Amino acid sequence: MSSVAIKVSGVSKRFRLRHSATKTIKSMIMDLLRHGGRTGGELWALQDIHFEVEAGRTLGIIGANGAGKSTLLALLAGTMTPTTGIIQTQGSISSLLELGAGFHPDLTGRENIFLAGAIMGLSRRKMKQRLDSIVEFADIGPFLDEPVKHYSSGMYVRLGFAVAVEVDPDILLVDEVLAVGDAAFQRKCLKKMASFRAMGKTMLIISHDLHAIQSVSDSILFLDHGQMKGHGAPSDIIGQYESFSRGQSGGDLRREWGTREVVLKGADFFDDNGNVTRSVASGGSVNIRIRYEVHTAVGPSVFGFGISDETGRLVHGSNTQIAGVDVGSLARSGSVVLRLPRLDLAAGNYFFSFSAHSADHRTNYHRLDNAFALGVDSEKRVDGVCVMPSEWRIEDSRGKEA
């Protein structure tokens, strides 16, 4: 069966922004006086989104915070209406947008279950039949007739998930479920979602857990600032997203200063075959060509580099002087190449800093801190930032090799 469960065509959503979250008559009058009727700006949370999900398929949605993921689910759930475009859905929809959102703290678990069921359009009779499996899944047995305000946050979330799943919708919308609850609950959720998939239900999932989303999705949609950056096979889009977010992050660690007699124009990362690269395998090699422009001829100079981890902590730093390479005086623009034959770094994102300064370290011509990102991939997980060769030996109690 290849009927389309969700069809989104040319959907955009605009929010009007105001200076304060809540509008009062006073603020409206002030706005009228100040801007002649224009109140605040506007924000396009989503722009021109197109996609289809076939019945029985699972679509994962990824993107940084504020990319428009939750707005998209709200539009699909019908709680918001698109500014332009059309959304067509086939079948009943249950949304797990924020677990247990509809619960009233003063009502008991049982009362909330029936209320939530009714909100999703299920009769009391049908909910009664499902009560046992909900209570079992949520594991709240003795607390069923207690007000939910006395629940632990774990119980609250479990109950929310159980209710949303047990109403047995054709389409399930899941927003960041995998970020809450303990490991046991997350396994339970993943198992439930897998069985949901096996039953031929359609799912839309938002998660920041790329590993989990890759394992449950048939295809992935990548949003950035309300725009579709990609839509396709999970591994392709996850790869695209990872390299994209590498380029984005580090922005707040980036620093730049110097007298600018010599200016560093950029750095190109390439492998030993000369191919441009943004990531290397742990223990592998990388070459970096640092391009510079000489604005004013300077005397004996030094080029330096540093590698920092994502938090900005320096992992390694060195320069041409330490390496015993004489750069000499700089009169014309050019480039220097740095080769790191063994990058023994743990998997993760790293930032490179480069500098050009005088040989006596008195004058800093130009320094670019944390300006270039490089990903390091590894199958093995190690703690810390560097990978050290390590060997183990097992001995018995007498200190002899076993």
25 interacts with another protein by CB under 8 A: yes
280 interacts with another protein by CB under 8 A: no
The rounded distance, in Å, linking the Cα atoms of 340 and 281 is 12
Take residue 90 and report the two structure tokens written for it: 């086939």
Task: Return the residue of 86, 101, 184, 323 that touches another protein, per CB under 8 A.
Answer: 101
Task: Return the residue of 60, 68, 69, 114 that touches another protein, per CB under 8 A.
Answer: 114
Specify the residue, 15 or 244, whose C-beta has the smaller distance to another protein.
Answer: 15
97-105, 188-196, 323-331, 363-371 -> range binding another protein (CB under 8 A): 97-105
Q: Which residues contact 55 (CB under 8 A, 6 or more apart)?
A: 1, 2, 3, 4, 5, 90, 91, 170, 200, 202
Residue type, 312: G
The rounded distance, in Å, linking the Cα atoms of 92 and 34 is 47
72-80, 178-186, 325-333, 366-374 -> range binding another protein (CB under 8 A): 72-80
278 interacts with another protein by CB under 8 A: no
24 interacts with another protein by CB under 8 A: yes
Residues of span 251-270 touching another protein by CB under 8 A:
none
Binding mask 73-92 for another protein (x = CB under 8 A): -x--xxxxx-----------
Task: Return the residue of 19, 23, 128, 361 that touches another protein, per CB under 8 A.
Answer: 23
Closest CA to 87 of 49, 55, 60: 49
Identify the burial level of 295 via C-beta atoms within 10 angstroms of its C-beta, where 0-12 means exposed, 13-18 middle and 19 or more buried: middle
Would you say 283 and 339 are in contact if contact means Cβ atoms under 8 Å apart?
Answer: no
120 interacts with another protein by CB under 8 A: yes
The rounded distance, in Å, linking the Cα atoms of 332 and 354 is 19
Count the site residues for another protein by CB under 8 A. Answer: 32
Q: How far is the CB of 395 from another protein (least distance, A)?
A: 60
Q: Which residues contact 400 (CB under 8 A, 6 or more apart)?
A: none
Give the strands of the sheet with 84-89, arranged side by side. Answer: 42-54, 4-16, 84-89
Q: Give whole-number Cα distances, 74 to 78, 80, 177, 196, in Å.
A: 6, 6, 15, 21
102-110, 199-207, 227-235, 261-269 -> range binding another protein (CB under 8 A): 102-110
Task: Return the residue of 58, 95, 279, 355 that touches another protein, per CB under 8 A.
Answer: 95
| Interface with another protein (CB under 8 A) | 15-16, 22-26, 28, 74, 77-81, 93, 95, 97-98, 101-102, 104, 106-107, 111, 114-115, 118-121, 123-124
